[in-house]
Every structure is written in structure tokens, then in C-alpha cells.
Amino acid sequence: MSASTREQPLLLIVDDEDSVRNALRRALRREPYRVQLAGSAAEALEMMRAERPDLLVSDHLMPQMTGIELMRRVRLLYPDVGRIVLTGQAELDTVIAAINEGEVFRFLRKPWDDAELKLVLHLAWQSVSEERENRRLLERLKSQADFLRKMDAEHPGLSSIRRDASGAILLDEEVTGF
């Protein structure tokens, strides 16, 4: 099932601490997300191969791969996944790296405020949904433009359509024979 056709957005939470993952799951239990948990960045990437999440919340300081590195990889592999970093270590350099390298939606500090977390997730999901819809519409527009170019090549002049004030298409009597 593709992420865009799901009724509930899939949220992947990545943190090397069980207690943090479980606390986040509890905080979001009444929210409209399907929540999956990963204990490491490598586990998260493996899970994403099977099913792409809509939103990703990751701790920054984790063994083997930092949250910033995970965000960078996710941005390259799955650019339409909303990315949020959650960490207790909020140094300015870390924030700048998260924004520049991982193009994160938000950077939240531990301990988090449940209301702020829920709001950020809502806004991130809204942003992801709008970006996906914009991409879908752009692809549709490109497809229609390609079709019109093909029609114009096969039937020169067809793409120059005249309309009246109500928007109705005006047909040239010479061309139609009416």
C-alpha cells in the first residue's frame, strides 16, 4: 500500500532508548497515526524498505549512525517523508546540520511537550500531504502538456482554441463546415 493511499499516516519513531520510544507511543496513542518503532537508524532504514513511512521522528545521538545522518539518507532515498529530529542535545551546530543536511521539518528538544509534539506532527503531515498533491498535479499537468504537444504536431492549430465570454469553445465555420 502506498503512503499516499493510506487512511492513517504511518509514523516511524527511531530512538535507541526503549523508554523514549514507548513514551512517544503512549503520547500518540489517541492520534490518527499508525506508529512503528525502531531502535536504531539501520533498523529504521530496513523497515523503510518494506513500507515507507509518511513521517519520521528520530533521536539525534544514537550509536553507529546519528539522527542527522539518518535524515540525510532518508532525504535522498525517500524525499517525500516528513522528517523531525528529537534530541536532548540541541547545540546550534546540530540544528543547522539537521536543517541543511536532512532538510528536517522541525527540531524538537527532549523532554518534549506532548501538545507541541502533536502539533508538529499534524503540521508535518499537512505539509507532506500538500507536497504530494502538488507533485501529483504537476505530473498530471506535464502529461496533459505532452498530450497537447502531440495533438498539435498531428493536428496543427488545434491547440489554439478560441472561447467566448462564458468559456465555450468557438468553432471556426471554415474548419467544421457548419
Report yes or no: 55 and 82 within 8 Å, Cβ to Cβ: yes
First to last CA, the chain: 52
Give the pLDDT of residue 145: 86
Average pLDDT over residues 50-61: 95
Q: What is the pLDDT of residues 76-135, one digit of tens each?
A: 999 999 999 988 876 667 667 667 666 888 888 889 999 999 999 999 999 999 999 999
**Whether the predicted pLDDT of 74 surpasses 60:** yes
**pLDDT confidence bin for 173, thresholds 50/70/90:** low
Give helix 67-77 / helix 92-102 axis angle, nearest 10°.
Answer: 10
Find, among 96, 37, 103, the residue nearest to 70 by Cα. 103
Architecture of domain 3-133: 3-Layer(aba) Sandwich (3.40)
**pLDDT confidence bin for 175, thresholds 50/70/90:** very low
Going from N- to C-terminal start, the domains of the chain cover: 3-133
What is the percent of the chain where pLDDT is above 90? 59
Give the pLDDT of residue 109: 87
Q: Whole-angstrom Cα distance, residue 121 to residue 145?
A: 36
